[in-house]
Amino acid sequence: MPTRAVVAGVGMTAFGKHLDRSLKSLAGEAIREALADAGLETGDLQAAYMGNAAAALITGQVCVPGQVVLRALGIGHIPVINVENACATAATAFQQAATMVAHGVHDVVLACGYEKLYHPDKKKTFEVFSGAIDVEDKEHVLAEVARAIEAAGGLSDIDNAGQNRSLFIDIYVTWALRLMSEQGITREHFAMVSAKNSVHGSLNPKAQYRDVISVQEVLAAREVAWPLTLPMCSPVGDGAAAAILVSERKARELGIAAPVRVDATILRSGWDYADGEIGMAEASARELYELAGIGPQDLDCVELHDASAPSELMYYEHLGLCGRGGITELIEQGHTRLGGRIPVNTSGGLMRKGHPIGATGLAQIVELTDQLRGRAGPRQVAGARVALAENGGGFIGRDAAAIALTLLSR
Protein backbone atom coordinates (compact mmCIF):
# COMPACT_ATOMS: atom_id res chain seq x y z
CA MET A 1 0.00 0.00 0.00
CA PRO A 2 1.65 3.27 -1.04
CA THR A 3 2.24 6.02 1.50
CA ARG A 4 2.82 9.67 0.73
CA ALA A 5 6.07 11.19 -0.41
CA VAL A 6 7.33 14.21 1.52
CA VAL A 7 9.04 17.26 0.01
CA ALA A 8 12.07 17.57 2.28
CA GLY A 9 13.86 20.36 0.45
CA VAL A 10 13.62 22.62 -2.58
CA GLY A 11 16.00 24.85 -4.50
CA MET A 12 15.87 27.16 -7.48
CA THR A 13 18.03 29.57 -9.45
CA ALA A 14 16.84 32.96 -10.51
CA PHE A 15 15.13 32.60 -13.89
CA GLY A 16 16.31 34.83 -16.72
CA LYS A 17 18.96 35.24 -19.39
CA HIS A 18 22.05 33.23 -18.42
CA LEU A 19 24.08 33.12 -21.62
CA ASP A 20 27.28 32.93 -19.59
CA ARG A 21 26.22 29.90 -17.53
CA SER A 22 26.10 26.20 -18.42
CA LEU A 23 23.37 23.67 -17.76
CA LYS A 24 25.67 22.06 -15.20
CA SER A 25 26.07 25.37 -13.41
CA LEU A 26 22.35 26.12 -13.28
CA ALA A 27 21.23 22.64 -12.29
CA GLY A 28 24.05 22.34 -9.76
CA GLU A 29 22.96 25.50 -7.97
CA ALA A 30 19.35 24.31 -7.63
CA ILE A 31 20.37 20.80 -6.52
CA ARG A 32 22.82 22.03 -3.89
CA GLU A 33 20.20 24.41 -2.52
CA ALA A 34 17.58 21.65 -2.34
CA LEU A 35 19.96 19.27 -0.56
CA ALA A 36 20.91 21.94 1.96
CA ASP A 37 17.24 22.74 2.54
CA ALA A 38 16.60 19.04 3.26
CA GLY A 39 19.67 18.70 5.48
CA LEU A 40 21.03 15.94 3.25
CA GLU A 41 24.23 15.22 1.33
CA THR A 42 24.79 14.07 -2.25
CA GLY A 43 25.60 10.61 -0.92
CA ASP A 44 22.09 10.29 0.54
CA LEU A 45 20.45 10.30 -2.90
CA GLN A 46 19.17 6.92 -4.08
CA ALA A 47 17.84 7.96 -7.50
CA ALA A 48 17.48 11.05 -9.65
CA TYR A 49 14.84 12.10 -12.17
CA MET A 50 16.41 14.77 -14.37
CA GLY A 51 14.16 16.88 -16.58
CA ASN A 52 15.38 18.75 -19.64
CA ALA A 53 13.60 19.47 -22.92
CA ALA A 54 15.80 21.62 -25.13
CA ALA A 55 19.47 20.80 -24.60
CA ALA A 56 19.72 18.78 -27.80
CA LEU A 57 18.84 21.87 -29.85
CA ILE A 58 20.29 24.67 -27.73
CA THR A 59 23.54 23.20 -26.35
CA GLY A 60 23.96 20.01 -28.38
CA GLN A 61 23.91 17.80 -25.27
CA VAL A 62 21.99 14.62 -26.04
CA CYS A 63 21.36 11.20 -24.50
CA VAL A 64 22.92 11.71 -21.03
CA PRO A 65 22.19 15.27 -19.84
CA GLY A 66 21.24 14.16 -16.33
CA GLN A 67 24.34 12.08 -15.83
CA VAL A 68 26.50 14.96 -17.06
CA VAL A 69 24.94 17.36 -14.54
CA LEU A 70 25.17 14.95 -11.61
CA ARG A 71 28.73 13.77 -12.31
CA ALA A 72 29.84 17.40 -12.07
CA LEU A 73 28.48 17.32 -8.51
CA GLY A 74 30.27 14.07 -7.73
CA ILE A 75 27.05 12.05 -7.95
CA GLY A 76 27.27 8.67 -9.65
CA HIS A 77 26.29 5.03 -9.18
CA ILE A 78 22.58 5.76 -8.57
CA PRO A 79 19.94 5.29 -11.25
CA VAL A 80 19.49 8.45 -13.30
CA ILE A 81 16.34 8.78 -15.37
CA ASN A 82 16.36 11.48 -18.06
CA VAL A 83 12.91 13.00 -18.57
CA GLU A 84 11.64 14.96 -21.57
CA ASN A 85 7.95 15.87 -21.80
CA ALA A 86 7.65 19.31 -23.40
CA CYS A 87 6.69 22.07 -20.95
CA ALA A 88 5.52 19.38 -18.50
CA THR A 89 9.06 17.98 -18.26
CA ALA A 90 9.91 19.03 -14.68
CA ALA A 91 6.45 18.18 -13.36
CA THR A 92 6.80 14.76 -14.95
CA ALA A 93 10.16 14.24 -13.23
CA PHE A 94 8.55 15.22 -9.92
CA GLN A 95 5.54 12.94 -10.47
CA GLN A 96 7.73 9.96 -11.28
CA ALA A 97 10.05 10.60 -8.32
CA ALA A 98 7.12 11.01 -5.90
CA THR A 99 5.51 7.81 -7.17
CA MET A 100 8.68 5.79 -6.64
CA VAL A 101 9.03 7.10 -3.09
CA ALA A 102 5.36 6.55 -2.28
CA HIS A 103 5.59 2.94 -3.43
CA GLY A 104 8.64 2.28 -1.28
CA VAL A 105 11.20 1.83 -4.05
CA HIS A 106 13.46 4.58 -2.67
CA ASP A 107 13.68 6.68 0.50
CA VAL A 108 15.49 9.71 -0.92
CA VAL A 109 15.05 10.87 -4.53
CA LEU A 110 16.03 13.99 -6.43
CA ALA A 111 13.75 15.58 -9.02
CA CYS A 112 15.37 18.36 -11.04
CA GLY A 113 14.36 20.44 -14.05
CA TYR A 114 16.96 22.57 -15.85
CA GLU A 115 16.95 24.47 -19.10
CA LYS A 116 18.70 26.95 -21.35
CA LEU A 117 16.48 28.52 -24.00
CA TYR A 118 18.30 31.74 -24.84
CA HIS A 119 20.44 31.41 -27.95
CA PRO A 120 22.11 34.06 -30.15
CA ASP A 121 20.01 32.68 -33.02
CA LYS A 122 16.36 33.18 -31.98
CA LYS A 123 15.17 30.72 -34.61
CA LYS A 124 17.01 28.02 -32.70
CA THR A 125 14.84 28.77 -29.68
CA PHE A 126 11.66 28.80 -31.76
CA GLU A 127 12.61 25.36 -33.13
CA VAL A 128 12.21 23.94 -29.63
CA PHE A 129 8.56 24.93 -29.55
CA SER A 130 7.94 23.98 -33.18
CA GLY A 131 9.11 20.47 -32.26
CA ALA A 132 6.50 20.12 -29.50
CA ILE A 133 3.82 19.16 -32.01
CA ASP A 134 3.57 16.25 -34.45
CA VAL A 135 6.27 17.42 -36.89
CA GLU A 136 5.18 14.87 -39.50
CA ASP A 137 1.80 16.61 -39.51
CA LYS A 138 3.05 20.18 -39.22
CA GLU A 139 1.35 21.57 -42.32
CA HIS A 140 -1.99 20.19 -41.18
CA VAL A 141 -1.48 21.61 -37.67
CA LEU A 142 -0.71 25.06 -39.08
CA ALA A 143 -3.72 24.88 -41.38
CA GLU A 144 -6.01 23.90 -38.49
CA VAL A 145 -4.68 26.73 -36.32
CA ALA A 146 -5.23 29.20 -39.17
CA ARG A 147 -8.73 27.85 -39.73
CA ALA A 148 -9.58 28.18 -36.03
CA ILE A 149 -8.33 31.78 -35.94
CA GLU A 150 -10.29 32.77 -39.04
CA ALA A 151 -13.44 30.94 -37.83
CA ALA A 152 -13.34 33.03 -34.64
CA GLY A 153 -13.06 36.25 -36.63
CA GLY A 154 -9.30 36.74 -36.28
CA LEU A 155 -6.66 37.41 -38.89
CA SER A 156 -4.29 34.53 -39.47
CA ASP A 157 -0.59 35.22 -39.93
CA ILE A 158 0.46 31.59 -39.89
CA ASP A 159 3.41 32.10 -42.27
CA ASN A 160 5.33 33.77 -39.44
CA ALA A 161 4.50 31.11 -36.85
CA GLY A 162 7.80 29.65 -35.67
CA GLN A 163 9.73 32.33 -37.57
CA ASN A 164 9.43 35.57 -35.60
CA ARG A 165 7.58 34.04 -32.66
CA SER A 166 6.88 30.66 -31.08
CA LEU A 167 4.35 28.54 -32.95
CA PHE A 168 2.50 28.23 -29.64
CA ILE A 169 1.62 31.93 -29.70
CA ASP A 170 -0.75 31.17 -32.56
CA ILE A 171 -2.25 28.29 -30.60
CA TYR A 172 -2.81 30.66 -27.66
CA VAL A 173 -4.51 33.07 -30.06
CA THR A 174 -7.07 30.39 -30.91
CA TRP A 175 -7.73 29.89 -27.18
CA ALA A 176 -8.06 33.63 -26.65
CA LEU A 177 -10.52 34.06 -29.50
CA ARG A 178 -12.58 31.11 -28.26
CA LEU A 179 -12.85 32.66 -24.79
CA MET A 180 -13.83 35.99 -26.32
CA SER A 181 -16.53 34.51 -28.54
CA GLU A 182 -17.95 31.94 -26.11
CA GLN A 183 -17.65 33.63 -22.72
CA GLY A 184 -17.44 37.35 -23.35
CA ILE A 185 -13.83 37.59 -22.23
CA THR A 186 -12.16 40.80 -23.42
CA ARG A 187 -8.57 41.90 -24.01
CA GLU A 188 -8.90 43.85 -20.76
CA HIS A 189 -9.45 40.57 -18.91
CA PHE A 190 -6.26 39.15 -20.41
CA ALA A 191 -4.45 42.32 -19.36
CA MET A 192 -5.81 41.95 -15.82
CA VAL A 193 -4.11 38.55 -15.57
CA SER A 194 -0.78 39.95 -16.75
CA ALA A 195 -1.02 42.92 -14.38
CA LYS A 196 -1.94 40.69 -11.42
CA ASN A 197 0.97 38.36 -12.05
CA SER A 198 3.34 41.31 -12.39
CA VAL A 199 2.45 42.36 -8.84
CA HIS A 200 3.16 38.83 -7.61
CA GLY A 201 6.39 38.60 -9.62
CA SER A 202 7.61 41.91 -8.22
CA LEU A 203 7.67 40.22 -4.80
CA ASN A 204 9.67 37.20 -6.01
CA PRO A 205 13.45 37.73 -5.97
CA LYS A 206 13.95 34.85 -8.40
CA ALA A 207 11.45 36.05 -11.01
CA GLN A 208 12.68 36.99 -14.47
CA TYR A 209 10.59 40.20 -14.54
CA ARG A 210 10.04 42.19 -11.36
CA ASP A 211 8.50 45.41 -12.61
CA VAL A 212 4.82 46.09 -11.92
CA ILE A 213 2.75 46.82 -15.02
CA SER A 214 -0.77 48.18 -15.23
CA VAL A 215 -3.67 46.92 -17.32
CA GLN A 216 -3.27 49.97 -19.56
CA GLU A 217 0.45 49.29 -20.04
CA VAL A 218 -0.26 45.66 -20.96
CA LEU A 219 -2.80 46.74 -23.58
CA ALA A 220 -0.45 49.38 -25.00
CA ALA A 221 2.51 47.01 -25.28
CA ARG A 222 3.80 45.58 -28.55
CA GLU A 223 1.34 43.26 -30.22
CA VAL A 224 2.65 39.74 -30.78
CA ALA A 225 -0.42 38.34 -32.53
CA TRP A 226 -3.84 39.88 -32.03
CA PRO A 227 -5.35 39.92 -29.45
CA LEU A 228 -2.17 39.16 -27.48
CA THR A 229 0.45 41.72 -26.51
CA LEU A 230 3.92 40.83 -25.29
CA PRO A 231 3.15 40.89 -21.52
CA MET A 232 0.25 38.49 -22.15
CA CYS A 233 2.75 35.80 -23.21
CA SER A 234 5.37 33.95 -21.17
CA PRO A 235 8.99 34.70 -22.09
CA VAL A 236 11.73 32.19 -22.81
CA GLY A 237 14.31 31.83 -20.08
CA ASP A 238 17.15 29.89 -18.53
CA GLY A 239 17.15 28.35 -15.06
CA ALA A 240 16.76 25.30 -12.86
CA ALA A 241 14.64 24.07 -9.96
CA ALA A 242 14.91 20.96 -7.78
CA ALA A 243 13.14 19.08 -5.02
CA ILE A 244 14.26 16.33 -2.66
CA LEU A 245 11.52 13.78 -2.01
CA VAL A 246 11.72 11.42 0.95
CA SER A 247 9.56 8.69 2.43
CA GLU A 248 7.46 9.39 5.51
CA ARG A 249 9.81 7.14 7.47
CA LYS A 250 12.82 9.16 6.33
CA ALA A 251 10.99 12.40 7.12
CA ARG A 252 10.51 11.24 10.70
CA GLU A 253 14.16 10.25 10.86
CA LEU A 254 15.14 13.74 9.66
CA GLY A 255 12.89 15.30 12.28
CA ILE A 256 10.74 17.23 9.81
CA ALA A 257 8.12 18.68 12.14
CA ALA A 258 5.59 20.02 9.63
CA PRO A 259 6.15 17.97 6.47
CA VAL A 260 4.85 19.06 3.07
CA ARG A 261 3.21 15.91 1.76
CA VAL A 262 2.34 14.89 -1.79
CA ASP A 263 -1.33 14.00 -1.36
CA ALA A 264 -1.83 13.10 -5.02
CA THR A 265 0.06 13.49 -8.27
CA ILE A 266 -0.97 12.32 -11.73
CA LEU A 267 0.44 12.40 -15.24
CA ARG A 268 -1.78 12.08 -18.28
CA SER A 269 -1.45 12.46 -22.03
CA GLY A 270 -4.03 13.88 -24.41
CA TRP A 271 -6.49 11.88 -26.46
CA ASP A 272 -8.84 12.32 -29.39
CA TYR A 273 -12.04 13.17 -27.57
CA ALA A 274 -15.47 13.60 -29.08
CA ASP A 275 -17.34 16.90 -29.33
CA GLY A 276 -18.99 17.60 -26.00
CA GLU A 277 -16.57 15.41 -24.03
CA ILE A 278 -14.61 17.22 -21.32
CA GLY A 279 -10.98 17.89 -22.17
CA MET A 280 -7.79 16.57 -20.65
CA ALA A 281 -7.25 19.31 -18.04
CA GLU A 282 -10.74 19.13 -16.57
CA ALA A 283 -10.83 15.32 -16.59
CA SER A 284 -7.38 15.14 -14.96
CA ALA A 285 -8.30 17.69 -12.29
CA ARG A 286 -11.41 15.72 -11.36
CA GLU A 287 -9.32 12.57 -11.08
CA LEU A 288 -6.76 14.34 -8.91
CA TYR A 289 -9.39 15.67 -6.50
CA GLU A 290 -10.96 12.23 -6.23
CA LEU A 291 -7.59 10.64 -5.45
CA ALA A 292 -6.89 13.18 -2.71
CA GLY A 293 -10.42 13.17 -1.33
CA ILE A 294 -10.81 16.95 -1.59
CA GLY A 295 -12.32 19.51 -3.93
CA PRO A 296 -11.23 22.81 -5.45
CA GLN A 297 -12.96 24.62 -2.58
CA ASP A 298 -10.28 23.23 -0.25
CA LEU A 299 -7.38 24.87 -2.08
CA ASP A 300 -5.48 27.77 -0.54
CA CYS A 301 -3.23 28.62 -3.50
CA VAL A 302 -2.52 27.43 -7.04
CA GLU A 303 0.41 27.54 -9.45
CA LEU A 304 -0.87 26.91 -12.97
CA HIS A 305 0.56 26.92 -16.46
CA ASP A 306 -0.03 30.51 -17.60
CA ALA A 307 1.97 30.22 -20.81
CA SER A 308 -0.36 33.03 -21.90
CA ALA A 309 -3.00 35.13 -20.17
CA PRO A 310 -5.81 33.19 -21.91
CA SER A 311 -4.26 29.97 -20.61
CA GLU A 312 -4.62 31.12 -17.00
CA LEU A 313 -8.25 32.10 -17.51
CA MET A 314 -9.05 28.76 -19.16
CA TYR A 315 -7.52 26.83 -16.28
CA TYR A 316 -9.63 28.70 -13.73
CA GLU A 317 -12.57 26.79 -15.14
CA HIS A 318 -10.76 23.54 -15.94
CA LEU A 319 -9.43 23.24 -12.37
CA GLY A 320 -12.81 24.02 -10.84
CA LEU A 321 -11.80 27.37 -9.36
CA CYS A 322 -15.03 28.70 -10.83
CA GLY A 323 -18.05 27.29 -12.60
CA ARG A 324 -18.95 27.70 -16.24
CA GLY A 325 -19.17 31.40 -16.99
CA GLY A 326 -17.48 32.41 -13.75
CA ILE A 327 -14.09 33.42 -15.18
CA THR A 328 -14.80 37.13 -15.51
CA GLU A 329 -16.00 37.48 -11.92
CA LEU A 330 -12.95 35.65 -10.61
CA ILE A 331 -10.49 38.02 -12.29
CA GLU A 332 -12.57 41.22 -12.04
CA GLN A 333 -13.19 40.80 -8.31
CA GLY A 334 -9.52 40.10 -7.58
CA HIS A 335 -10.19 36.62 -6.18
CA THR A 336 -6.97 35.23 -7.68
CA ARG A 337 -4.74 38.01 -6.33
CA LEU A 338 -2.75 37.79 -3.13
CA GLY A 339 -5.31 38.40 -0.41
CA GLY A 340 -8.08 37.05 -2.62
CA ARG A 341 -10.20 33.94 -2.18
CA ILE A 342 -7.84 31.67 -4.14
CA PRO A 343 -4.48 33.28 -5.03
CA VAL A 344 -3.13 31.99 -8.35
CA ASN A 345 0.50 32.17 -9.47
CA THR A 346 1.88 33.94 -6.41
CA SER A 347 5.35 33.34 -7.89
CA GLY A 348 4.48 35.63 -10.79
CA GLY A 349 3.58 32.65 -12.96
CA LEU A 350 5.25 31.78 -16.21
CA MET A 351 4.56 35.26 -17.56
CA ARG A 352 6.64 37.01 -14.89
CA LYS A 353 8.72 34.33 -13.15
CA GLY A 354 9.80 33.06 -16.57
CA HIS A 355 9.41 29.82 -18.48
CA PRO A 356 12.59 27.75 -18.99
CA ILE A 357 10.39 24.89 -20.11
CA GLY A 358 12.35 21.99 -18.61
CA ALA A 359 12.36 23.67 -15.17
CA THR A 360 8.90 25.25 -14.95
CA GLY A 361 7.01 22.42 -13.25
CA LEU A 362 9.50 22.14 -10.41
CA ALA A 363 9.59 25.92 -9.98
CA GLN A 364 5.88 25.61 -9.24
CA ILE A 365 6.65 22.99 -6.58
CA VAL A 366 9.30 25.28 -5.06
CA GLU A 367 6.79 28.13 -4.79
CA LEU A 368 4.05 25.99 -3.25
CA THR A 369 6.44 24.34 -0.80
CA ASP A 370 7.55 27.78 0.35
CA GLN A 371 3.91 28.83 0.69
CA LEU A 372 2.99 25.76 2.75
CA ARG A 373 6.04 26.25 4.97
CA GLY A 374 5.12 29.89 5.52
CA ARG A 375 8.36 31.25 4.12
CA ALA A 376 7.17 33.07 0.98
CA GLY A 377 7.83 36.48 2.50
CA PRO A 378 5.76 39.38 1.15
CA ARG A 379 3.84 37.07 -1.19
CA GLN A 380 2.83 34.66 1.58
CA VAL A 381 -0.73 33.32 1.49
CA ALA A 382 -1.93 33.47 5.09
CA GLY A 383 -2.52 30.04 6.61
CA ALA A 384 -1.84 28.12 3.39
CA ARG A 385 -2.30 24.39 3.98
CA VAL A 386 -3.40 22.88 0.63
CA ALA A 387 -1.91 23.78 -2.76
CA LEU A 388 -2.24 22.63 -6.36
CA ALA A 389 0.27 22.69 -9.22
CA GLU A 390 -0.76 22.24 -12.87
CA ASN A 391 1.80 21.96 -15.66
CA GLY A 392 0.99 21.10 -19.28
CA GLY A 393 3.05 20.77 -22.43
CA GLY A 394 3.07 20.13 -26.13
CA PHE A 395 0.10 20.18 -28.48
CA ILE A 396 -1.51 17.34 -30.43
CA GLY A 397 -4.95 17.42 -31.99
CA ARG A 398 -6.96 19.96 -30.02
CA ASP A 399 -5.24 19.80 -26.65
CA ALA A 400 -1.96 19.66 -24.78
CA ALA A 401 0.11 16.52 -25.32
CA ALA A 402 0.86 16.05 -21.61
CA ILE A 403 -0.35 17.31 -18.25
CA ALA A 404 0.86 16.76 -14.70
CA LEU A 405 -1.06 17.83 -11.60
CA THR A 406 0.03 17.66 -7.97
CA LEU A 407 -1.70 18.35 -4.66
CA LEU A 408 0.52 19.27 -1.71
CA SER A 409 -0.50 19.77 1.91
CA ARG A 410 0.99 20.32 5.33
Q: What per-residue confidence (pLDDT) applies to 292?
A: 96
* pLDDT at res. 270: 92
Active site residues: 87, 355
Beta bridge mates, 268: 403
DSSP codes of every residue in 204-264: -TT-S------HHHHHHSPEEETTEEGGGBPPP-BEEEEEEEE-HHHHHHHT-SS-EEEEE
Nearest Cα to Cα of residue 314 among 185, 141, 228, 192: 185
State how beta strands 402-409 and 386-393 pair: antiparallel
Q: How far apart are CA 23 and CA 240, in angstroms?
A: 8
CB 300, CB 294: distance < 8 Å: no
pLDDT for 167 equals: 81
How many CA atoms lie less than 13 Å away from 42 in the CB half-sphere?
14
Residues 317, 292, 260, 11, CA torsion sign: negative
**Nearest Cα to Cα of residue 400 among 92, 230, 234, 168:** 168
Fold of 6-119+237-260: Peroxisomal Thiolase; Chain A, domain 1 (3.40.47)
CB atoms within 10 A of CB 174: 21
In angstroms, the Cα distances linking 320 to 323, 327, 410 are 6, 10, 22
Stated pTM of the model: 0.96
Q: Establish how many alpha carbons lie within 13 A of residue 376's alpha carbon, considering only the half-sphere containing its beta carbon.
A: 28
Residue type (1 letter), 215? V
Torsion 147-149-155-161 (CA) sign: negative
Instruction: Residue 223: count other Cβ atoms within 10 Å of its Cβ.
Output: 12
Going from the first residue of the chain to its last (410 residues), give the mean pLDDT of each consecutive group of 10, the final group possibly shorter: 88 97 98 98 98 96 98 98 98 98 98 96 88 87 78 68 74 92 95 98 98 98 94 97 98 94 97 88 97 97 98 98 95 98 98 98 98 98 98 92 97
